[in-house]
Chains A and B, each alone.
Chain A
Amino acid sequence: MFIIKALVEKVIELKNHIFILKIFSPEIASIINPGEFLNVKVSDSNYPLLRRPFSICDAEGDFIFLMFNIFGEGTKILAHKHKGDLIDILGPLGKGFNLLGDFDTAILVAGGLGVAPFPYFIRKIGKSKEIHSFIGGKTDKDIITYGMKNITISTDDGSLGIRGNVVELLEQNVENLKSKRIKIFGCGPNAMLRELRELSIKHNLNCEVSTECAMACGFGICQGCPIESVNHPDKYLLVCKDGPVFNMRDIVI
């Protein structure tokens, strides 16, 4: 874990208030794994006070990339960063995706900004496995394909891809995919993850998901980020330390 004041290289608006922040950080770039996250202090002042968690979106050479949308004050400040600004990052944090294991095809399922951790996932997995990406959003404005591969799209209003949500989209394709040894990797809103859980149980598929929770510290000292555990119902797991990526079998969403 490092606390680093890192240099901003650039901020790019992908579309519709969705941004990529490129940061120079060889220390973190060289050790971070897909699905892990960083906790970012967006300003030097007490406003906002707490750090903001962001998944590692990509890492290449000495640079790391974060993907974010303007959600509240903190992300608004981030969007206004410029080349040469210093930004205070803490990481790498948490447990990421398990890219090893008994599968030859990774099914990526992303709702809206849930695509954020996958570009790095795809980079790391390289040519070792096949990738299918299912991306869903409310309308075409919410669909981000940055860094994604082999894409199928759904939108709630049908403005792009099929009409419906992304889990319905996956359901339509799952029988075809089941001929391969597949593993599902999901990231998105809780409602989507819940549907994904049903689907993975119904088809008996191995499934890992990246979860979110309000956080204060991001590294296990505040106990602010509980998630219900299947194996130990008398004890919560911590999203920041035991996750944010969990096997669907282990958590109650």
Chain B
Amino acid sequence: MKKADLSVQVGPLKFRNPVLLASGTVGYGSEMSEFIDLNLIGGIVTKSLSLKPRKGNPPQRIVETPAGMLNAIGLQNVGVEEFIKEKIPFLKKFDVPLICNIAASTYEEYVECTKILTQEDAITAFEINVSCPNVKEGGLQFGNDVKAVGKITAGVKAVTNKPVIMKLSPNVSYISLFAKVVKEEGGDAVSAINTLVGTAFNIITRKPKIYNVNGGLSGPAIKPIALAKVLEIRQSVDIPIIGIGGIMNWQDVIEFIIAGSSAIQLGTVNFIDPAAATTIIKGLEDFCMKQGIEKISELTGSFII
């Protein structure tokens, strides 16, 4: 029997399969390459970069919650310069689309980062993180403000020819309003969702378990929310969607695709099983074969409601 075609198109972007690795859950690729062949996955989204290195939040940064985890890393990253010098040369060795995620504190910083990084041939596309809940300035405020998201989309698009994916926050009432403005301002796709704001307390000390007080909730606990957000966008805006949130196995991937995603990203699962991407890709192949699905992209938005 012929192998199923797992390749997908996300706006102008082509991926060999729909399984991408999410920002902040793959570092800059080197650790993951010990567990999986990066040449076989759909794409890698690197840890959010800011113009200058960021130290990030003090510990404790992580706490487990039912079927999920809170994190408040605070966008610790090496900064644009070291990324270009130290991280890109390694990532270049692989035949895998490299999506560079940017998180900034000001509009100007988003534009400046993109301007510098767009010179790098190794970078296939940008994912703009306007939705990180863990930094005090910028971040979430941008993600909550339709106008700001529109302005950042337009500003970034103006300085690069590479595709721009806007990563949306779920901590809003109507995520589709944000997807709409991204489309209007020329964004090529949206990814949804980033983490949800959450907190946890130690009942003896009565202090928050996380230094930053709030963290971002990820993992299986958020999957139903993420699916609902993907569906909402799909039903109201004609823009390609990369689905993210709590994906643990190939069945979850199919669910996200049916709800309207053209591709997906694996996040928290990489911490538990760094080889998950490989297993999931194999599972998708088998599923398509068994179901007689020739092209997995046929499934995108195929829900019956």
State the A residues within 8 Å of B (CB): 1, 3, 41, 46-51, 90, 213-228, 234-236
B248 close to chain A: CB less than 8 A: yes
Q: Which of B58, B69, B76, B275 contacts A216 (CB 8 A)?
A: B69
B186: CB under 8 A from chain A?
no
Cβ–Cβ contact B53 & A49, under 8 A:
no
Which of the candidate stretches B114-122, B140-148, B162-170, B266-274 sits at the interface with the other chain?
A: B266-274
Q: Which of B61, B73, B272 contacts A51 (CB 8 A)?
A: B272
- Residues of chain B with a CB closer than 8 A to A51's CB: 271-272
Given contacts A234-B55, A235-B55, contact A49 B71 (CB under 8 A): no
Task: Given A215-B62, A223-B73, A225-B62, decide whether A236 and B31 contact each other with a Cβ distance below 8 A.
Answer: no
Q: Which of B54-112 contact A (CB under 8 A)?
A: 55-64, 66-69, 71, 73, 76
The reply to whether A1 and B35 contact each other, CB–CB distance below 8 Å, is yes
A49–B68 CB distance below 8 A: yes
Q: Is the CB of B76 within 8 A of A223?
A: yes
- Chain A residues whose CB sits within 8 angstroms of the CB of B31 once the complex forms: 219-221
User: Which residues of chain B come closer than 8 Å to A48, judged between CB atoms?
Assistant: 64
Q: Which one, B25, B68, B219, B273, contacts A221 given CB within 8 A? A: B25
Query: A227 to chain B: which residues have CB within 8 Å?
Result: 59
Interface residues in chain B, defined as those with a beta carbon under 8 Å from any beta carbon in chain A: 24-27, 31-32, 34-35, 47, 53, 55-64, 66-69, 71, 73, 76, 219-220, 248, 268, 270-275
28 contacts between A and B (CB under 8 A): A1-B34, A1-B35, A3-B35, A46-B219, A47-B67, A49-B69, A213-B60, A214-B59, A214-B61, A214-B63, A215-B62, A216-B69, A217-B271, A219-B274, A220-B31, A221-B26, A221-B31, A221-B274, A222-B62, A223-B24, A223-B73, A225-B59, A225-B62, A226-B76, A228-B58, A235-B55, A236-B56, A236-B76
> How distant is the Cα of A52 from the Cα of B31 in the complex, in angstroms?
19
A226-B76, A234-B53, A236-B76 known; A217-B270 Cβ under 8 A: yes
For the A-B complex, the count of residue pairs with Cβ-Cβ distances under 8 Å equals: 94
> What residues on B are CB-neighbors of A50 within 8 Å?
64, 69, 271-272
Chain A residue nearest to B210 in the complex (CB): A214
User: Contact at A214–B53, with CB atoms within 8 Å?
Assistant: no
The 6 closest A-B pairs by CB, nearest first: A224-B62, A217-B271, A221-B27, A46-B67, A216-B271, A214-B62
Cβ–Cβ contact A226 & B62, under 8 A:
no
**Given A221-B274, A223-B27, A226-B59, 20 more contacts at CB 8 Å?**
A1-B35, A3-B275, A46-B219, A47-B67, A49-B64, A49-B68, A50-B69, A214-B59, A214-B63, A217-B270, A219-B274, A220-B31, A221-B27, A223-B24, A223-B61, A223-B73, A225-B59, A225-B62, A226-B56, A226-B58
| Chain B residues whose CB sits within 8 angstroms of the CB of A218 once the complex forms | 271
| Residues on A with beta carbons closer than 8 Å to the beta carbon of B61 | 214, 223-226
- Smallest CB gap from A226: residue in B: B59
Q: How many whole Å from A215's CB to the nearest CB in chain B?
A: 7
A213→B31 CA distance, assembly (Å): 20
In the bound assembly, the distance between CA atoms of A89 and B25 in angstroms comes to: 19
Complex partner residue of B270 from A49, A213, A221, A223, CB under 8 angstroms? A221
- CA of A51 to CA of B66, assembled, Å: 14
Contact assessment for B55 and A236 in the assembled complex, using a CB-CB cutoff below 8 Å: yes
> Which residues of the partner chain B approach A223 to less than 8 Å between Cβ atoms?
24, 27, 47, 56, 61, 73, 76
Can you name the residue of chain A whose Cβ is closest to the Cβ of B30? Answer: A220
- Beyond A1-B35, A3-B275, A49-B69, whether A220 also contacts B27 by CB under 8 A is yes
- A234 CA to B62 CA, complexed, in Å: 21
Chain B residue with the shortest CB-CB distance to A218: B271
The residues of A that contact B268 with a CB separation of less than 8 Å are 49, 216
Q: A230–B242 Cα gap in the complex (Å)? A: 41
Residue of B nearest to A238 (CB): B76
Quick one: given A3-B35, A46-B67, A215-B62, are A235 and B53 in contact (CB under 8 Å)?
yes
B220 A46 Cβ-Cβ under 8 A:
yes
Scoring A50, A213, A227 by chain B CB atoms within 10 A of each residue's CB, the highest score goes to: A50
Chain B min CB distance to A40 (Å):
11
Inter-chain contacts of A236 with B (CB < 8 A): 55-56, 76
Within the complex, what minimum Cβ distance (angstroms) separates A242 from chain B?
13
Nearest CB on B from A82, distance (A): 23
The distance in angstroms between the C-alpha atoms of A220 and B271, with both chains bound, is 10
Whether B271 and A221, one on each chain, are in contact in the complex, defined by CB atoms closer than 8 angstroms, is yes
Residues of A within 8 A of B73 (CB): 222-224
Q: How far is the CA of A220 from the CA of B57 in the complex (A)?
A: 16
